[in-house]
Structure 1
Amino acid sequence: MGHNYYGEPAWPNDLLYIFPVVILGTIACNVGLAVLEPSMIGEPADPFATPLEILPEWYFFPVFQILRTVLGLYGLEP
């Protein structure tokens, strides 16, 4: 099939000449589409909008919950 039928070896011809052209063409198409038609992920950031509830990083959640509970017992809210 293909190369064996015509007697053309696959090693130098396909692997060194055809495959890099296909890979570079695929990369060029992807980069071209990304430049011409960029897709936004989510909505643009607004530096002046403050979130409703500011939460700490995930590794501070247990300490944050303990602080809220203890201060809530005394009628204080953080």
Structure 2
Amino acid sequence: MAVAAMALLTSVVAGGLPAAVAGPSPEVARKCMRFSYIAYPYKRPGSVKMSGDRQSYFRDCMAKEGNVPEPTPPKES
């Protein structure tokens, strides 16, 4: 009787919980990281003023599940 009550309680509690949402896959993360370094290439810290552009691009790409057009490298000046 106690086992049946515990099983019923467990199923009621588990039924009330929201389903887990999976995050982006590792492939999407690698693609977004590669695209962020194409759009905003690495520059030695201290040689230029730093900005959060690369990180912002990466977050935006991850939010869109990697469905962004492939960026073109910036022109060297």
Q: TM-score, normalised by structure 2?
A: 0.28
The structure with higher relative contact order (CA 8 Å, sep 6+) is: 2
Q: Which is higher, the Rg of structure 1 or of structure 2?
A: 1
The structure in which a higher percent of residues are helix is: 1
